[in-house]
A = this chain, B = another copy of it.
Amino acid sequence: MSEELASGPKESPPAPRPGPREVWKKGGRLLSVLLAVNVLLLACTLISGGAFNKVAVYDTDVFALLTTMMLLAALWTLFYLLRTARCPDAVPYRDAHAGPIWLRGGLVLFGICTLVMDVFKTGYYSSFFECQSAIKILYPLIQAVFVIIQTYFLWVSAKDCIHAHLDLTRCGLMFTLTTHLAIWMAAVVDESVHQAHSYSSLHSNTSHSRLALDPERAGSQDGGGFCSCNTALCQIFQQGYFYLYPFNIEYSLFASTMLYVMWKNVGRLLPSTHGHGHGHGHSLTRVSLFRETFFAGPILGLILFVVGLAVFIIYEVQVSGEGARKRQALVIYYSFNIICLGLMTLVSLSGSVIYRFDRRAMDHHKNPTRTLDVALLMGAALGQYAISYYSIVAVVVGLPRDLLGGLNLAHALLMIAQHTFQNVFIIESLHRGPPGAEPYDAAPKEPCHGLTFANLDALHTLPACPPTPRLDGPSPADPQEAVAVILAPRGHWRRRCLKDISLFLLLCNVILWIMPAFGARPHFSNTLEVDFYGYSLWAAIVNICLPFGIFYRMHAVSSLLEVYVLS
């Protein structure tokens, strides 16, 4: 939204091919944002109401709403696909930055996992078909269809800059985005309720049932007494679908970011050189994957990854025990995290130091995908920041004088440092020009798109003339040239270091994603904060903030992959 004003002047020259230019782009955007906000708030109200057992909103209401939204979004998507297939003039440009291959690949991967989850869910609810409302079985089936349509749609159309039915397309995209966000919210809330339920059944303390299901309701969810989930198959289905939730959550978020970029690109005009470029340059370097590193980064990262997996399994096994075993599990968990976060902080810092010697120019060009990436990295980090600050206050004010308190404090502090320095490193990397490009000041002032000026000062008074003639792609226009530029400085130690650093950080982020995404909750096992804030406040903080923290890891992985390929 805020970028719109600045982009106004940029779009002012009339388009070469499409019809008359839009009078006021912001008006169309406003309309679609208003639609999205209203639908999202309605969904949010129902979902949050459904999560609290005292409120007379039932999960069938939520399922009904989500199913309706998915059907509508799927219909619109089909309509969009049909229309663009019939009239190729509707998409005159394609944004080379949008929908990079790793994002689309991740989407397909998570989409497949979501389909498996839907099978499990259908199986689970079919086990006691008689005492369920039909919507609970319908919901995973519709979701499966929706995921298939969406994955195909985003694979094919993620790069489109569409120029037909602008307002309708914006509203359709925003509605689909809202649907994904609503599904994400529902999944997160469902997982939190499940977590709280298992926590309160572990502690069998009824005073902690604020976010938990009460026995009646849990009974009615499982189908009541005579049709509860007793068979082995049903148990497997139930366990399975809870373990597949993280993938569904990530799928929704990936799809949302891609839809947002598509929405930003509606009606956008790009210089038509290689208009249909499919991220050229990137795919060419993938042949020589890993050849250009010192191997230190990937190897150290892999070691940490394997150790982390082992620590995670030990933690999960031991933490449900009592007293000393639980304490040992927490000490192991925190120690590993402290070492991992410390190393990541140092490595990110050294990456930033390397950039101080880097002579590549900064890339100032407009790029909605990158802007979104940066905003998401900064925004999603807030979740983990908030949890860490609450932990710090609890430890500092509560003054526990034991090992766990100290470990918790160190963990929280390092978490803040690691997020900060990693964000600085990634954001700086994303803004570097392509390798081999001359620094800005040394570049000769080229005339602006073939215009020549007798007086160079005249160029400076030009309001928004970019310093280089290439408008919207960091890679040069000609693919052959691109390869030459990218491969030329291959042996340089700086590039190799940066590739090592990005791979190391990537692997660390994967393991730090796996732990919370698959259920490690030291926040509750470690009773420090629960005692300090009380269960309900601390559960609210963690359940709201942790999903963002988990999304941060996933998003950092995709950004680091981009850094690896581009550096």
Contact = CB atoms under 8 A, between A and B. Distances in A.
A222 interface: no
Contacts of A12: 364, 465-467
Contacts of A440: 23
Residue with the greatest number of chain B CB neighbours at <10 A, chosen from A33, A57, A367: A57
A207 interface: no
B9 A7 contact: no
Interface in A447-477: 448-451, 453, 458-467, 471
Contacts of A367: 5
A393 to B, nearest CB: 5
A451 B362 CA distance: 28
A506 to B, nearest CB: 21
Interface in A17-47: 23-24, 26-27, 30, 33-34, 37-38, 41-42, 44-46
Interface in A410-468: 416, 420, 423-424, 427-428, 431, 440, 448-451, 453, 458-467
B471 A463 contact: yes
B52 A466 contact: no
A6 interface: yes
Residue with the greatest number of chain B CB neighbours at <10 A, chosen from A365, A386, A393, A466: A393
A368 to B, nearest CB: 8
Contacts of A462: 13, 448-449, 451, 465
A2 interface: yes
A449 B461 contact: yes
Contact of A2 (B2, B38, B389, B416): B2
A8 B385 CA distance: 29
A123 to B, nearest CB: 31
Nearest to A12: B467
A3 interface: yes
A13 B465 contact: yes
A230 interface: no
Interface string A355-393: 000000010111100111011001000100110011011
Contacts of A463: 10, 271, 448-449, 464-466, 471
**What is the count of identical protomers in the complex?**
2
Nearest to A52: B537
Given A34-B420, A55-B537, A24 B378 contact: no
A49 interface: yes
Interface in A50-66: 52, 54-57, 61
Contact of A464 (B23, B389, B428, B466): B466
B41 A389 contact: yes
A46 B389 CA distance: 9
Contacts of A49: 390, 393, 397, 533
Interface string A526-556: 0000001110010000000000000000000
Contacts of A423: 30, 34
Nearest to A382: B37
Interface in A171-200: none
Given A448-B463, A451-B453, A10 B14 contact: no
A562 to B, nearest CB: 16
Nearest to A61: B397
Contacts of A534: 52, 54-55
A84 to B, nearest CB: 25
A1 interface: yes
5 contacts: A1-B371, A5-B365, A13-B459, A42-B389, A45-B392
Given A2-B375, A41-B385, 10 more contacts: A2-B371, A8-B366, A9-B466, A34-B420, A41-B386, A41-B389, A45-B390, A54-B534, A55-B537, A450-B458
Interface of A: 1-14, 16, 23-24, 26-27, 30, 33-34, 37-38, 41-42, 44-46, 49, 52, 54-57, 61, 271, 362, 364-367, 370-372, 374-375, 378, 382, 385-386, 389-390, 392-393, 397-398, 416, 420, 423-424, 427-428, 431, 440, 448-451, 453, 458-467, 471, 532-534, 537
Report, nearest first, the 10 A-B pairs whose CB atoms are least far apart. A8-B364, A464-B464, A13-B460, A6-B6, A9-B466, A10-B464, A45-B389, A24-B362, A12-B467, A54-B534
